[in-house]
């Protein structure tokens, strides 16, 4: 695959693109800073979709550094589509191919080593695009990610409205509203909980909708569970007398005690903690649930203790790993 716009990795291993290089490739006449400010107005968030040059380590040597931004591949694709030009379509298709190549482990293509080589490669690609003249497809107006689910779909399982569940998540400090759009807070931005679906109707403003990944859906369910909110189908029938939930009065086990009982090697406590986090056994917004509880030891350190059920789940997970 020929490189049109340089794609690099940031310090977190995410693929990023220079906003200024994208601006140059698209052939936008508006000055970069004005153009980028207008693009951000479509609903992109700093430190989620892009990061400023002042936060990057690489800066021009000597003189005042030019303003630039590192954009995620998703943001670069969306911006390319917004331009509604052949160059925009070409750039978007290029980023799609880059993503495919990364997923297939085919990223070792030869990169131009000099500015002249880069211009030659760009000229080849432009010429190729002019020859092919791809037809505008109405489905190009959609930028959907498979596997995403709306908040309404999650909410209806709990007898709630999408608006009500959004309000609940906002109160829990998970999402916030900007204008009429919802965004996830920065502390959850890199956890793979959400994605954004883009729809661009004919000659109208682009709509950018927050949706949830499978991991995000489980995250929401864990929060609801911590609050004692169960799916409608799992609630006792209204025709029966609902018994109050009994508090756990059994023994609690530390990670060290579980490791000892399972004859695990030294340091296995870290593995147990990792499994508890990964499978969301720990409560998020409360101090306890049916799997474990948060306690403070005599030195003021926060630790976790597991119920018999929590210890059994940990044991089953470790057995599956064949530790």
Query: Is 70 strand, coil or helix?
Result: strand
Q: What angle do CA 38, 13, 15 make, to 5 degrees?
A: 40
pLDDT of residue 254: 92
Say what the pLDDT of residue 124 is. 63
Coil, strand, or helix at residue 71? strand
| End-to-end Cα distance, the chain | 42
Taking each helix axis from N to C terminus, what angle separates 73-82 and 19-26, rounded to the nearest 10 degrees?
A: 30
At the topology level of CATH, where does 151-234 sit? Answer: Arc Repressor Mutant, subunit A (1.10.10)
- Show the low-confidence residues of the chain (pLDDT under 50): 55-61, 106-109, 131-146, 203, 234-245, 323
Where do you find CATH 1.10.10 in the chain? 151-234
- Other residues' Cβ atoms within 10 Å of the Cβ of residue 91: 23
- Provide the pLDDT for residue 127: 58
Is the pTM of the predicted complex or chain greater than 0.95? no
Residue 236 pLDDT: 47
Question: Beta strand 207-212 with 292-296: parallel, antiparallel or unpaired?
Answer: unpaired
């Amino acid at each position: 695959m020929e490189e049109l716009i340089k794609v690099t990795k940031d310090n977190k291993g995410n693929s990023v693109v220079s906003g200024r290089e994208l601006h140059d490739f698209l052939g936008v006449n508006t000055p970069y800073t004005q153009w980028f400010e207008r693009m951000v107005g479509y609903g992109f968030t700093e430190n989620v979709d892009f990061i400023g040059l002042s936060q990057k380590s690489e800066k021009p040597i000597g003189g005042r550094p030019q303003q630039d931004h590192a954009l995620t591949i998703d943001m670069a694709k969306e911006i390319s589509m917004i331009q509604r030009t052949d160059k925009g379509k070409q750039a978007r298709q290029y980023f799609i191919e880059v993503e495919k190549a990364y997923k297939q482990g085919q990223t070792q293509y030869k990169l131009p080593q000099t500015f002249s080589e880069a211009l030659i490669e760009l000229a080849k690609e432009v010429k190729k695009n002019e020859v092919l003249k791809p037809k505008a497809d109405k489905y190009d107006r959609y930028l959907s990610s498979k596997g995403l689910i709306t908040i309404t779909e999650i909410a209806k399982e709990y007898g709630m409205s999408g608006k009500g569940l959004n309000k609940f998540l906002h109160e829990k400090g998970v999402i916030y509203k900007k204008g009429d759009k919802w965004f996830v807070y920065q502390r959850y931005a890199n956890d793979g909980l959400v994605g954004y679906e883009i729809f661009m109707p004919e000659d109208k403003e682009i709509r950018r909708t927050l949706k949830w990944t499978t991991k995000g859906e489980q995250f929401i369910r864990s929060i609801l569970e911590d609050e004692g909110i169960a799916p409608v189908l799992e609630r006792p029938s209204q025709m029966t007398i609902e018994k109050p939930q009994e508090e756990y009065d059994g023994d609690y086990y530390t990670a060290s005690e579980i490791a000892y009982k399972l004859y695990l090697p030294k340091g296995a406590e870290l593995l147990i903690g990792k499994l508890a986090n990964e499978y969301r056994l720990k409560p998020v917004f409360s101090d306890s649930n049916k799997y474990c509880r948060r306690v403070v030891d005599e030195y003021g350190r926060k630790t976790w203790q597991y119920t018999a059920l929590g210890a059994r789940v940990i044991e089953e997970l470790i057995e599956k790993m064949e530790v």
